[in-house]
Structure 1
């Protein structure tokens, strides 16, 4: 009997010892974290208690993955015994943020450029139907929405030549060129769910990213799946808005996949401003070996939206919700279906050398009935980007060299018809279009000391376009016409000095160029303006960053000189045309500051943060002669001199949260003569809700909000230099929304 008790005692002792006991704490405050979901690689799932404690039985070393909302996911291999695991908050402290701008993954403090990070938290502060509000909280960035889903992006005033669409700004999505080789970007094909974070590089960045004076936007949607997650979102709002999303993320070995489907519809604030968009995304991540990774991406987008058109002052005063006369009858609208697929491969040759290569292809079916005509385009494009990265030494100092290239080409069958009551009539002209752009880039980052880094980069750029006119019903010339832009070298030189771990300064000199797009050369009335020149600019910039504890500060001053500036005007028939007008002089100040009054996972108020961003654009035409009129010295058209944004964010222990945003935009000139201005306006947005996790497996959020709380009358995207005084594209008045989100973790 004594031996039996001894055996039982030994078994109990062994079972007690054969246990992995984990205490999960906040890495900053060292306070215990409850409701942390922990997944073992044998499939077990458990949740930490109020003391942050969790225990797993077993005697073998296992890999445990830790999840908690507001904290970075973390994995660790742990064996029998007691362990303390520290989770890191998803912080926006500047000294802790890492960005991948200029193809160099470094802390933001070490980046020698003005870079704005738009995070998932920024997107979730608003209604999540578009990117507009979240991007517009950042200094130097202004996204306009002339009609529902009709975007125009201005980075430091770069929308001057974009009466519609996104031009003069290069956009990448998951490191793949999303901007077409002709320089336009169909950003509205993406739903906000296809974007988790965005990095915006302000000003010329051609040394790494090719053509473009406005800047670069790097969008990222992919995250390496950890565990499994199923989500469902639903939202409704004023003006007939509805949106739902279904998503799944699944880990498979060391990789995984994620898929989502989103449907969004709206009737619109104005007559003839409805939209309907469905987007399907499928992404995969596969860790082939320790040296190789493969990423795949598929996007299928079906977008339809109506174009109400701009109003003159009398029409605006009479009824801002009305459409421009003729828009309804002619069914002025856009229908666009697109497929975008890419594959990326990362190979590590050694700890010092690696290569990343992405290839893509896309198709585009575009149909645009307009008041004056009816356009149809069927296009196909492909391209790729590759880069080699070397981390080594030069004279005993750290040296990083990045070199590579990018190539894109597109083929489009474009036809313009007459428009009779919204239906395509007789063909007016038809073309086969080809646009090609490519460049090689090199960049060297040399740490002369531990605190001082020198960057030198340049790219060699090539671009051309071909317009093969097949039909010209007016009797004009047919045949092939080409425009090849001279190869141009675009350099960038930058310095970065760190005072300490949480503050530093930088300075840079960079040049850029931006050739005209096919839409600017080939206009809607059939003329070809092949003499249109590329814009060329040079940018001087200095900045200071500081991120310590609860305070973040980011200051930038720049001086940008642009030659051969492309501006727009409208002929008596209402066709938008383009011209080079000399040069502009652009001086600017950008500042962002935020302070976290409270950040504590124990108190009732978990987070209380206030932030402010300021943009001062002091932009003028330097040399602009138009006929007998000299507009030199006038303020740059379409650019407000001052923008001030204030944000307040509150989160409590029960899960109740509040996000408040106030945006002030000063008056802005609507024509080159500076005789017509849009009035200054104040825009207030508010979102509040409740979010909670249950049993480590369920996440639930209920929310509501209001846009334009003060019911301001304003235009978020005016027409510039229009014929007949049609300047105004009225934005929605006060409107409410609400919804729920559900996620199941398995």
Structure 2
């Protein structure tokens, strides 16, 4: 009888405990969080697995503390056997945000440069079909899209010399330069899903990244390859929008592979503005041992889009959806197929020394029927980048030395034909083009006190191109012509002073340069402008950052002096030509402020975040003489003096969210004489949706959105200094989209 009583008591005590299952997710994107530390009141500790789950025996209710680096800690009471909790990233605290700018990982609070970080919460607050809206929420950054997939990037006015495409900005994707050695970037070959985070370095960064006065964009598609996952996405909307994506992630040992394919189609808002893009991405990460790891990437992109062309004021008033006369008949469009293959290797010689090296090869098949001609190009390129990092002590204080180099070369067969109703006619001229760009870089970072960080950088840059004219039907000279630019030394000096644990001051002086691209030297009407000089600029900058509790402030003031400025003009045949036009003075203020108004676990309203980005760019031509006209003192063409972007992000009970974005853009001068302006406009976008955990392994997100909520007339990129007054590229009117995502973890 005594043993029976003891057994009953023991059984009763066990029955008081039940198996408890806790799931922890990211509070912004609802992804499972692995390796979250769960600490009980008794001192026992558990960790979540790759599915964000932790299971253990415990009597309810009980209190736990959830902790994961980079996230706000959370103390909660567990009342049920199955509970889900959300941790929020410390994105509001600059000391908790790590960026890799200038080849060194540091908290943003310690970085002595003007940097904007674009994360998944920025990229996926819009319609997920374009990078434009997300990037344009950051001060000093403007991406224009004159037609679907036709991008033009402006960082602090750097698009002045870009009638189309991306120039004067260096772009990297997964540490590989995708900016060609001639200085152009086919950014539209990437789908938004090929980007998970982006770092935008504003201002000259040649001390470590080479050519480009505008800045640097570092794109990353790094995924969590430790979790097996199947992803399916679909979105449809106005103007024939239809996009689908399928991806699979497969862990392999401590690494893994990811394969994703995405297709996007649309008819476009305007006549003759359809686009069709398919992108296949295969990526792998393979840790060999504790000292070395291998990264591989293959990207295949097939892009076709129509070019409606710019309108004059009368055509715009008559019908903003019409194409420029001749665009349809001549099939003005771009067809581009590209392959990029990369190989990366990181080796840690010791705790203090490591090397990171990447190589790439690419091919590019490009066809561009235009109103005036028909261009075909077939190109091949290769290159690589390597850096060594040394961590030492100097005077008992940390010293980091970085040294390395980058090399790129490309060979292109380029032919220009007449255009007869959208078909290539007789060849007008044909060239073999070779471009080469290389530089060596060195950088030292010394924390000479607990509060002071000094950065000194220097690069030596080499660039050249060759144009071998094989055919010139007009009777012009043929043969090889070369242009080699003198080696250019680009220095940078910067200092960061930590006022305390949550605020810092910074100052920097940096130089930059940007040689003309082959497209600027070799124009569509066949002339060669070998006298174009490289732009040279010097940037002076002061900044202040604050990241405390729920408030985040990043304030920058700068002065940029640019010499040998390359500007555009259009001849009577409508061909865009280029010239060096004196110098510019560029003064600016940029402010980013974010504040978490509400953040709590219970209640109807779970979170409310407010953000504002202000850009004040007061740019003018310092010296600019065009024939018998003096434009000195005029506003810089294509730059809005003031831009304000406001965001409101709501999170409600039931995993429901609402994102609102308001953008004000000031009037923009569209010609050097400052006689034509785009009117200021206010643009409002909305996205709403919800997440649902269908099972332990299956998640779903449903969303819809409205772009251009109040149906305003505006442009996302006008033509500058065009012939015939064709300034205007109307952007879409009010439009709607719907989307769904499914994630299955196995």
> Residues 206-605 of structure 1: matches in 2 within 5 Å?
206-605=206-605
Q: Name 1:203's counterpart in structure 2.
A: 203
The TM-score, its normalising length taken from structure 2, stands at 0.92
Shift of 1:500: 1.1
Matched, 1:163 2:157: no
Query: Structure 1 residues 180, 362: closer, same or farther in 2, change over 3 A?
Result: same
Aligned residues of 2:564 and 2:581 also touching (Cα < 8 A): yes
Aligned residues of 1:196 and 1:221 also touching (Cα < 8 A): yes
Q: Name 2:61's counterpart in structure 1.
A: none
> In structure 1, the residue corresponding to 2:160 is in which secondary structure?
helix
Aligned residues of 1:36 and 1:696 also touching (Cα < 8 A): no
Aligned residues of 2:492 and 2:510 also touching (Cα < 8 A): yes
Query: How far apart, in 1, do the equivalents of 2:225 and 2:19 lie?
Result: 25
Query: Structure 1 residues 489, 689: closer, same or farther in 2, change over 3 A?
Result: same
> In structure 1, the residue corresponding to 2:121 is in which secondary structure?
helix
Shift of 1:433: 0.3
Query: How far apart, in 2, do the equivalents of 1:639 and 1:669 lie?
Result: 7
Q: Runs of 5+ in structure 1 lacking a partner?
A: 58-65, 74-84
Shift of 1:604: 2.9
Shift of 1:54: 2.1
Query: How far apart, in 2, do the equivalents of 1:284 and 1:27 lie?
Result: 24
Query: How far apart, in 1, do the equivalents of 2:355 and 2:229 lie?
Result: 31
> Residues 705-724 of structure 1: matches in 2 within 5 Å?
705-724=705-724
Query: How far apart, in 1, do the equivalents of 2:19 and 2:167 lie?
Result: 56
Query: How far apart, in 2, do the equivalents of 1:72 and 1:223 lie?
Result: 22
Shift of 1:305: 0.1
Shift of 1:19: 12
Report Cα offsets for 1:77-107 as digits up to 9, x if no partner.
xxxxxxxx99853231222100000001000
Aligned residues of 2:23 and 2:48 also touching (Cα < 8 A): no
Query: Structure 1 residues 483, 146: closer, same or farther in 2, change over 3 A?
Result: same
Query: How far apart, in 2, do the equivalents of 1:648 and 1:90 lie?
Result: 17
Shift of 1:631: 0.2
Aligned residues of 2:267 and 2:273 also touching (Cα < 8 A): yes
Aligned residues of 1:46 and 1:54 also touching (Cα < 8 A): no
Query: How far apart, in 2, do the equivalents of 1:44 and 1:571 lie?
Result: 64
Aligned residues of 1:390 and 1:400 also touching (Cα < 8 A): yes
Report Cα offsets for 1:454-495 as digits up to 9, x if no partner.
000010000000000000000110000000000000000000
Q: Name 2:91's counterpart in structure 1.
A: 92
Q: Is the deviation greater in 250-259 or in 373-382?
A: 250-259
Aligned residues of 1:150 and 1:188 also touching (Cα < 8 A): yes
> In structure 2, the residue corresponding to 1:163 is in which secondary structure?
coil
Q: Runs of 5+ in structure 2 lacking a partner?
A: 38-45, 59-65, 74-83
Shift of 1:172: 0.1
Q: Name 1:61's counterpart in structure 2.
A: none
Q: Name 1:140's counterpart in structure 2.
A: 140
Report Cα offsets for 1:552-592 as digits up to 9, x if no partner.
10100000000000000000000000000000000000001
Q: Name 2:42's counterpart in structure 1.
A: none
Q: Name 1:637's counterpart in structure 2.
A: 637
Query: Structure 1 residues 630, 45: closer, same or farther in 2, change over 3 A?
Result: closer
Query: Structure 1 residues 34, 729: closer, same or farther in 2, change over 3 A?
Result: closer
Aligned residues of 1:36 and 1:67 also touching (Cα < 8 A): no
Shift of 1:635: 0.2
Query: Structure 1 residues 623, 35: closer, same or farther in 2, change over 3 A?
Result: closer
Aligned residues of 1:39 and 1:45 also touching (Cα < 8 A): no
Query: Structure 1 residues 47, 269: closer, same or farther in 2, change over 3 A?
Result: closer
The TM-score, its normalising length taken from structure 1, stands at 0.92
Matched, 1:623 2:623: yes
Query: How far apart, in 1, do the equivalents of 2:300 and 2:534 lie?
Result: 33
Query: How far apart, in 2, do the equivalents of 1:292 and 1:730 lie?
Result: 51
Q: Name 1:55's counterpart in structure 2.
A: 56
Report Cα offsets for 1:682-704 as digits up to 9, x if no partner.
11100011112233311111111
Shift of 1:139: 0.3
> In structure 1, the residue corresponding to 2:339 is in which secondary structure?
strand
Cα RMSD after superposing both structures: 3.1
Aligned residues of 2:51 and 2:745 also touching (Cα < 8 A): no
Query: How far apart, in 2, do the equivalents of 1:497 and 1:531 lie?
Result: 44
Query: How far apart, in 1, do the equivalents of 2:689 and 2:85 lie?
Result: 28
Query: How far apart, in 2, do the equivalents of 1:378 and 1:673 lie?
Result: 38
Q: Name 2:649's counterpart in structure 1.
A: 649
Aligned residues of 1:684 and 1:708 also touching (Cα < 8 A): yes
Shift of 1:223: 2.4
Query: How far apart, in 1, do the equivalents of 2:306 and 2:710 lie?
Result: 27
Shift of 1:528: 0.3
Aligned residues of 1:277 and 1:304 also touching (Cα < 8 A): yes
Aligned residues of 2:295 and 2:344 also touching (Cα < 8 A): yes
Q: Name 2:80's counterpart in structure 1.
A: none
Shift of 1:607: 1.3
Query: How far apart, in 2, do the equivalents of 1:123 and 1:72 lie?
Result: 22
Q: Is the deviation greater in 35-44 or in 434-443?
A: 35-44
Query: How far apart, in 2, do the equivalents of 1:722 and 1:91 lie?
Result: 47
Query: Structure 1 residues 27, 189: closer, same or farther in 2, change over 3 A?
Result: closer
Query: How far apart, in 2, do the equivalents of 1:25 and 1:569 lie?
Result: 57
Shift of 1:56: 8.2
Shift of 1:378: 0.2
Query: Structure 1 residues 376, 684: closer, same or farther in 2, change over 3 A?
Result: same
Query: Structure 1 residues 675, 693: closer, same or farther in 2, change over 3 A?
Result: same
Report Cα offsets for 1:710-735 as digits up to 9, x if no partner.
11111111100000000001110111
> In structure 2, the residue corresponding to 1:159 is in which secondary structure?
helix
Query: How far apart, in 2, do the equivalents of 1:34 and 1:315 lie?
Result: 48
Query: How far apart, in 1, do the equivalents of 2:285 and 2:653 lie?
Result: 35
Query: How far apart, in 2, do the equivalents of 1:689 and 1:647 lie?
Result: 16
Query: How far apart, in 2, do the equivalents of 1:586 and 1:367 lie?
Result: 37
Shift of 1:23: 6.7
Aligned residues of 1:572 and 1:723 also touching (Cα < 8 A): yes
Query: How far apart, in 2, do the equivalents of 1:378 and 1:12 lie?
Result: 78
Query: How far apart, in 2, do the equivalents of 1:644 and 1:103 lie?
Result: 31
Total equivalences in the alignment: 719
Query: How far apart, in 1, do the equivalents of 2:638 and 2:99 lie?
Result: 31
Aligned residues of 1:47 and 1:696 also touching (Cα < 8 A): no
Report Cα offsets for 1:278-326 as digits up to 9, x if no partner.
0000100001000001100110000000000001111111111111110
Aligned residues of 2:249 and 2:259 also touching (Cα < 8 A): yes
> In structure 2, the residue corresponding to 1:315 is in which secondary structure?
helix
Query: How far apart, in 2, do the equivalents of 1:228 and 1:176 lie?
Result: 26
Query: How far apart, in 2, do the equivalents of 1:86 and 1:449 lie?
Result: 41
Query: How far apart, in 2, do the equivalents of 1:443 and 1:168 lie?
Result: 22
Query: Structure 1 residues 448, 35: closer, same or farther in 2, change over 3 A?
Result: closer
Query: How far apart, in 1, do the equivalents of 2:538 and 2:485 lie?
Result: 19
